[in-house]
Chains A and B, each alone.
Chain A
């Protein structure tokens, strides 16, 4: 809201120190955004400045100079001078000149009209032109300027129609007809729909209610008689209409924030007074008012004890009364026995409850009076398991050389279609695109990370190893269900399948996973055949790990190999022992033996490991894979040699060479029997 210093001074004596006033306004609710002096803004009179104040959406009353002046008068405890317009009217009854029918009370709760006959349209007086120019409003003529002046004086939008162009001398407030269109005073054509409210005559729409007038009925130099509209249009209707038409005006801005119901008639009177002063003419007797009854607002009880309970300070009852009365509240009696009752002024729609009055007292009294040495009692607060876990995850992954990325939760359909290992249900989407057409709530983090790796490669030839911890949005069964939001950790890196798998193994170990990690190959386009696996911890499905297919990499213009993995964090934590427990270490020496088996290619390492483990039992401390070697000439086709080491140790005694040999023999026997694996000499 732009206010002119000179204009304000018509209603209140302004303090000498302008900067202090600006600060006090900021600290009482009208945030000072800036000030323009005549040297910065040539439209200003030499003795004027223009101050920009931010008005919050609950304070429509401050969208006029009078409202701002009232705040100043309350802050500085000075008098507020509100004009009291009086009209000399003709003998002609306005109802004989015009009728108003309101067919859309939902959008227009109240409509008033006055008629001025015999005006002489011309330039408005200099003082009015200077006032409008000071806040950047264009000057038109003495009728239109007067409506704008009163708008910026009290915040009530007004509209002047050329009486001669109102068909059948009848104003109808009604929903727009389907496909109805109007040429607005900006001389552009707007197509309307029945959700919008229009001000029409007997034939056609002449204004979009509360948003903008129409060109056909605008006041011109040839206008003789004018109709002055002062009305209330409902905020929701005006907001939706203005949004749909992408047509925002000072009027729509004020209707959206609600106008003063008492001020409607005052503004009508005020503008008629100003028009007659500069354009002559006579005001017809009376006013057409579709809803003249204004409900009296109920008193609000304010308890001083509540002021203290909420603010933490006591404020003297005399000060409380002064503030509320100066703001326009009315009370029948002084505050007694710790409470008082106040009726909020008609222009303050935001004051309906005790809490609202507490805020009014607090902001005028000053928040600087609230102390900063009022500590809260101590209370325990423990770190969430989830936070401890993600900290460990970040620790392991950064140690493995991966950096944390954050990528947008909403992705393009191209990215969404790339991959969806977790769900078959189609992704949820937003109505409006978030970025570059991205509308899909992602069902996996992997495409985002592959894209990030591709961008790094394209822009700086960096092979970025990245991870991200974020939600996946897995759609529910029905359309209206909230999606399951699954916290996942995903990674993209180079290296090979096993280096990536090793990172995941370390992660599981560091998080204290008690179940063993197992893999199950799955088929999916986009991955090297056989090299995408579902990961499980015991029976719990953990996630996916795979080598991206060269064809897919080509689409991303990425050099290979690229390995990706995505794990469900809840699954990772399902059976985790985040607080490690010490395991007693055997004091007896261990014996390590290398075993080199030749076996069929089809035998998988996990089968071999299981056989070795079950053959020894407790005294087997570890089985370590060393290497695989293939020599078809020596061992035959589809055979391989696997070298492994076993570490044997007893918790009770030193294993003798014979004991160890016996255990090794049972391993050899079991491998032969169960896997047809032969020990090589």
Chain B
């Protein structure tokens, strides 16, 4: 056989085989085509390979190269047809692979919503130059009351409104007496400690646990968190207070938030106000605020004629619960994973 004839026989085999394999639409047709072209015993490729011997010796090299190319092309077509038919689908993808099955998630813990709120608040106040400060939770009456202008006959000092610590002095635990130590009822105690240890200007926020004997219900818990801000400088006004709180509210709630002051009473500020924010058309109580009372300045050795300042305090739980739609404050302290894992 001449080289020419051999090569043209190869070409026609290749195009016929590929066309037949591509056209095979089921396993039966594919198997027939496979046996016909690449079958071990009687396949067309085998047949044509046998004819190599009749090609002139000088031409055998070129004939062999071409034979190899054709063989590879046909085998590729077989493989493709096989995977198309047996593997199913146009792309040749594994039919058992279901990409819609859920992913395998890493076990990642959750940060407590109160922590998230505190981080958020700290960050907003940090942008306005307020640094975090902390103080002890077990306090003496000086820091919790006296220096905050809360006199001895003030109802805020009542043993039933505070967690005074028991002392062993009497042998038995005393009840209902004003002790020498108590769990702080407000984070304002930190203001006193900060002012007593530093000179103005002062710009701090204090955050932490505070304690008041409330029977627990959906909105009360005997332990909760407060954030207090304090700014003391030579020329601080109530207009500054209103501005800082409006910027704070706008940052926290988003959008331009309206704010209003209602007169109130706190021993450690004068004037004292309740702060309301207009939220979804309702005035929401946000916390208390005011200008630092001159007596507080005197208690820490500042001259109220030289410096002025403002202070404000917010309940962290209330902000957290409103932000996350939490309905019962007790959930926050339950340690229940069904709650914690939602945040």
A residues bordering B, Cβ < 8 Å? Answer: 26-29, 31, 56-59, 234-236, 239, 243, 256, 308-313, 350, 353, 355-356, 358-359, 362-363, 367-368, 370-376, 378-384, 386-387, 391, 394, 397-410, 428-432, 434-435, 439, 441, 448-449, 451-453, 455-456, 459-460, 462, 464-467, 470-471, 473, 479-480, 482-483, 485
Chain B CB within 10 A, most for which of A243, A404, A466, A470: A404
Q: Are B337 and A485 neighbours in the complex by a CB distance under 8 Å?
A: no
Q: Are B271 and A374 neighbours in the complex by a CB distance under 8 Å?
A: no
Given contacts A401-B108, A430-B163, A430-B166, contact A466 B158 (CB under 8 A): no
Q: Are B240 and A456 neighbours in the complex by a CB distance under 8 Å?
A: no
Q: Are A312 and B338 neighbours in the complex by a CB distance under 8 Å?
A: no
When C-beta atoms are compared, the residue in chain B nearest to A454 turns out to be: B335
Interface set, chain B 176-193, CB cutoff 8 A to A: 176-177, 179-181, 183
B324 → A minimal CB distance (Å): 14
Partner of B109, one of A356, A372, A375, A402: A402
Partner of B155, one of A256, A399, A451: A256
Which one of B58-66, B81-89, B96-104, B122-130 is at the A interface?
Answer: B122-130
Q: Are A434 and B223 neighbours in the complex by a CB distance under 8 Å?
A: yes
Q: A409-B211, A431-B174, A441-B165 are in contact. List 12 more A-B contacts (CB 8 A).
A: A27-B263, A31-B262, A235-B153, A370-B242, A372-B246, A376-B129, A401-B107, A405-B112, A452-B335, A460-B336, A466-B340, A482-B136
Decide if B115 is an interface residue (CB 8 Å cutoff).
yes
Complex contacts, B294 vs chain A, CB 8 Å: 353, 355
A255 → B minimal CB distance (Å): 12
Q: Are B137 and A485 neighbours in the complex by a CB distance under 8 Å?
A: yes
Partner of B336, one of A311, A382, A455: A455
When C-beta atoms are compared, the residue in chain A nearest to B264 turns out to be: A56
Q: Are A406 and B242 neighbours in the complex by a CB distance under 8 Å?
A: no
B residues bordering A, Cβ < 8 Å? Answer: 106-112, 114-115, 119, 122, 125-126, 128-132, 134, 136-140, 152-153, 155, 158-160, 163-169, 173-177, 179-181, 183, 201, 203, 209, 211, 213, 216, 222-223, 231, 235-240, 242-244, 246-247, 259-265, 270-274, 291, 293-294, 304, 308, 332-338, 340-341
Q: Report the bound CA distance from A407 to B293 in whole Å.
A: 35
When C-beta atoms are compared, the residue in chain B nearest to A428 turns out to be: B165
Q: Are B175 and A431 neighbours in the complex by a CB distance under 8 Å?
A: yes
Q: Are B128 and A376 neighbours in the complex by a CB distance under 8 Å?
A: yes
Q: Report the bound CA distance from A485 to B173 in whole Å.
A: 22
Q: Report the bound CA distance from A441 to B163 in whole Å.
A: 11
Partner of B337, one of A431, A441, A456: A456
Complex contacts, B262 vs chain A, CB 8 Å: 26-27, 29, 31, 367
Q: Report the bound CA distance from A56 to B213 in whole Å.
A: 20
Q: Are A404 and B340 neighbours in the complex by a CB distance under 8 Å?
A: yes
Q: Are A362 and B271 neighbours in the complex by a CB distance under 8 Å?
A: yes
Complex contacts, B169 vs chain A, CB 8 Å: 479
Given contacts A381-B203, A384-B132, contact A311 B337 (CB under 8 A): no
A181 → B minimal CB distance (Å): 20
A79 → B minimal CB distance (Å): 23
Q: Report the bound CA distance from A6 to B145 in whole Å.
A: 42
Q: Are A431 and B179 neighbours in the complex by a CB distance under 8 Å?
A: yes
Complex contacts, B130 vs chain A, CB 8 Å: 381
Q: Are A407 and B333 neighbours in the complex by a CB distance under 8 Å?
A: yes
Grouping DSSP codes into helix (H, G, I), strand (E, B) and loop, the B interface class, with mixed when no group exceeds half, is mixed
Partner of B163, one of A27, A312, A372, A434: A434
Q: Are A394 and B155 neighbours in the complex by a CB distance under 8 Å?
A: no
Q: Report the bound CA distance from A370 to B293 in whole Å.
A: 19
When C-beta atoms are compared, the residue in chain A nearest to B204 turns out to be: A381
Q: Report the bound CA distance from A159 to B130 in whole Å.
A: 54
Complex contacts, B304 vs chain A, CB 8 Å: 355
When C-beta atoms are compared, the residue in chain B nearest to A308 turns out to be: B237
Complex contacts, B128 vs chain A, CB 8 Å: 376, 381
Complex contacts, A29 vs chain B, CB 8 Å: 262-264
Q: Are A239 and B112 neighbours in the complex by a CB distance under 8 Å?
A: no
Complex contacts, B119 vs chain A, CB 8 Å: 391
Q: Report the bound CA distance from A429 to B172 in whole Å.
A: 12
Given contacts A309-B235, A402-B109, A462-B337, contact A363 B271 (CB under 8 A): yes
Q: Report the bound CA distance from A439 to B222 in whole Å.
A: 12
Complex contacts, A243 vs chain B, CB 8 Å: 158, 160, 176
Q: Which 5 A-B pairs have the closest CB atoms?
A: A452-B335, A312-B237, A312-B239, A379-B129, A398-B109
Q: Report the bound CA distance from A434 to B164 in whole Å.
A: 11
Q: Are B126 and A383 neighbours in the complex by a CB distance under 8 Å?
A: yes
Chain A to chain B contacts (Cβ below 8 Å), 21 pairs: A27-B260, A59-B265, A243-B176, A312-B240, A362-B238, A363-B271, A367-B260, A372-B243, A375-B247, A379-B129, A394-B111, A398-B110, A400-B109, A408-B223, A409-B137, A431-B179, A441-B138, A441-B183, A456-B337, A459-B338, A473-B137
Partner of A431, one of B165, B223, B263: B165
Partner of A376, one of B112, B160, B231: B231
Partner of A406, one of B106, B243, B332: B332
B180 → A minimal CB distance (Å): 6
When C-beta atoms are compared, the residue in chain B nearest to A470 turns out to be: B209
Partner of B263, one of A363, A404, A432: A363
B122 → A minimal CB distance (Å): 7
When C-beta atoms are compared, the residue in chain B nearest to A239 turns out to be: B155
Q: Are B109 and A465 neighbours in the complex by a CB distance under 8 Å?
A: yes
Complex contacts, A398 vs chain B, CB 8 Å: 108-111
Q: Are B238 and A310 neighbours in the complex by a CB distance under 8 Å?
A: yes
Q: Report the bound CA distance from A634 to B175 in whole Å.
A: 71
Complex contacts, A370 vs chain B, CB 8 Å: 238-239, 242, 261
When C-beta atoms are compared, the residue in chain B nearest to A376 turns out to be: B240
Q: Are B109 and A397 neighbours in the complex by a CB distance under 8 Å?
A: yes
Partner of A311, one of B209, B222, B237: B237
When C-beta atoms are compared, the residue in chain B nearest to A240 turns out to be: B158
Q: Report the bound CA distance from A191 to B292 in whole Å.
A: 43
Complex contacts, B259 vs chain A, CB 8 Å: 372
Q: Are B160 and A432 neighbours in the complex by a CB distance under 8 Å?
A: yes
Q: Report the bound CA distance from A531 to B168 in whole Å.
A: 36
When C-beta atoms are compared, the residue in chain A nearest to B223 turns out to be: A408
When C-beta atoms are compared, the residue in chain A nearest to B246 turns out to be: A372
When C-beta atoms are compared, the residue in chain B nearest to A234 turns out to be: B153
Q: Are A403 and B110 neighbours in the complex by a CB distance under 8 Å?
A: yes
Given contacts A359-B263, A387-B132, A403-B110, contact A309 B240 (CB under 8 A): no
Q: Are B213 and A375 neighbours in the complex by a CB distance under 8 Å?
A: no
Q: Report the bound CA distance from A260 to B78 in whole Å.
A: 108
Q: Report the bound CA distance from A462 to B112 in whole Å.
A: 18
Q: Are A455 and B308 neighbours in the complex by a CB distance under 8 Å?
A: no
B126 → A minimal CB distance (Å): 5
Given contacts A358-B270, A431-B174, A485-B138, contact A374 B239 (CB under 8 A): yes
Partner of B265, one of A28, A58, A479: A58
Q: Report the bound CA distance from A407 to B333 in whole Å.
A: 5
B248 → A minimal CB distance (Å): 11
B342 → A minimal CB distance (Å): 10
When C-beta atoms are compared, the residue in chain B nearest to A469 turns out to be: B115
Q: Are A372 and B242 neighbours in the complex by a CB distance under 8 Å?
A: yes
When C-beta atoms are compared, the residue in chain B nearest to A449 turns out to be: B335
Q: Report the bound CA distance from A82 to B125 in whole Å.
A: 50
Complex contacts, B271 vs chain A, CB 8 Å: 310-311, 355, 358-359, 362-363
Q: Report the bound CA distance from A394 to B115 in whole Å.
A: 10
Q: Are B293 and A355 neighbours in the complex by a CB distance under 8 Å?
A: yes
Given contacts A311-B238, A408-B223, contact A430 B244 (CB under 8 A): no
Q: Are A313 and B239 neighbours in the complex by a CB distance under 8 Å?
A: yes
Given contacts A311-B237, A381-B131, contact A428 B333 (CB under 8 A): no
B289 → A minimal CB distance (Å): 11
Partner of A460, one of B160, B165, B222, B338: B338
Given contacts A59-B265, A376-B231, A381-B130, contact A404 B112 (CB under 8 A): yes
Chain A CB within 10 A, most for which of B119, B244, B262: B262
Complex contacts, A382 vs chain B, CB 8 Å: 131
B192 → A minimal CB distance (Å): 14
Partner of A456, one of B152, B164, B336: B336
